[in-house]
Amino acid sequence: MKAIVALFRSMLLSLRDLLPIIAVISFFQLAVLQQPLPEWGTILLGLLFVVMGLTFFIFGLEMGLFPIGETMAHAFASKGSLAWLLIFAFCLGFGTTIAEPALTAVANEAAEVAAEGGMIAKDESAQEDYASGLRLTVAFSVGFAIMIGVLRILKGWPIQWMIIGGYGVVMTMTWFAPPSIIGIAYDSGGVTTSTITVPLVTALGVGLASSIKGRNPMVDGFGLIAFASLTPMIFVMGYGMFLS
């Protein structure tokens, strides 16, 4: 019974979060464009699906992904094996990123545009190779980022200097990377931090910081997502420079 009540409460919260979007769309459609919304029934049904999807997604995160991420972080910290912890961090970042649907969509679109622009051959095999190479590059970069982020938590390194240094590298590489890859590189930093990567990586950071004496979860537990957004820009620009 408690689970049903919690699920219903989560559904109300999801509806509340969607209300600003609904209000914006309704205002511009009715007040600015002065046109009625087409197919009310389909729109309402789609809105119901969105609310249910968000509800089950958030509810699932709280029930499954966050607890397992924190539990594994505690277990690795208790085990005391730095090598296995770093291997796990890399594999977690790589595995969650390669499964991101947003990354797949961006990589496929980039391959189509590259083929139309004459950068690669227009055959399907060349486009698949380009998209796969882009996805693997981004996944490898996120795995590397999570590994560096875990080391930061363990060593207590200040995150601000690492982020500033990383963006300094991004700015420098922008001058030398092919113009056709720069936009894709910048977008890659955003699409990696999506529905699959963020929950597990956040749980890993908070759980690890909570398990280590002298670390504050609020100060040291967060920041892994920042690394995961930063390194794809560097690696993808490097990938574009390699291909050119």
Our measurement of the distance from residue 235's CA atom to the centroid of its chain's CA atoms, rounded to an integer in Å, reads 16
Please say if the pLDDT value at position 97 is more than 70. Answer: yes
| pLDDT digit string, tens, across residues 145-173 | 999 998 998 888 888 999 999 999 999 99
75 within some domain: no
Q: Tokens standing for 62?
A: 């709280």
Contact predicate 93/225, CB 8 Å = no
The answer to whether residue 71 sits within a structural domain is: no
Cα 66 versus chain centre, distance: 15
Given a cut of 70, whether residue 3 has pLDDT beyond it is: no
Spacing of C-alpha 148 from chain mean position? 17
Residue 48 confidence class, pLDDT cut points 50, 70, 90: confident
Dihedral (CA of 137, 143, 145, 151) sign? negative
Looking at the structure of the chain, the number of domains it has is 2
Identify the pLDDT of residue 1. 65
Q: In whole angstroms, what is the distance from residue 105 CA to residue 111 CA? A: 10
Q: How confident is the model at residue 143 (pLDDT cuts 50, 70, 90)?
A: very high
Q: Is residue 14 part of a domain?
A: yes
- Same domain (yes/no): 128, 232: yes
Domain identity same for 230 and 202: yes
Is the model's pLDDT at 33 over the cut of 90? Answer: no
Say yes or no: 225 and 111 in one domain.
Answer: yes
Identify whether 68 is part of a domain: no
The residue whose two tokens read 């055959």 is 123
Domain-located, residue 186: yes
Whether 191 and 157 map to the same domain: the answer is yes
Which amino acid is present at 161?
A: W
Half-sphere exposure of residue 26: CA atoms within 13 angstroms, side-chain side:
9
User: Does 180 lie in the same domain as 223?
Assistant: yes
pLDDT at position 169 is: 95
pLDDT of residue 148: 93
Average pLDDT, the chain: 83
Express each pLDDT in 187-233 by its tens digit. Answer: 888 777 766 677 778 888 888 888 777 787 787 888 888 898 899 99
Same domain, 132 and 57: no
Domain boundary among 63, 93, 117: 63
92 and 48, same structural domain? no
For residues 55 and 87, membership in a common domain is answered with no
pLDDT in tens, 71-88: 777 777 777 678 888 888
- For residue 104, what pLDDT is reported? 85
Domain presence at residue 161: yes
**CB-facing half-sphere around the CA of 128: CA atoms within 13 A:** 3
Residues 26 and 126 in one domain: no
What's the domain range around 20? 1-63
* Residue 218: inside a domain: yes
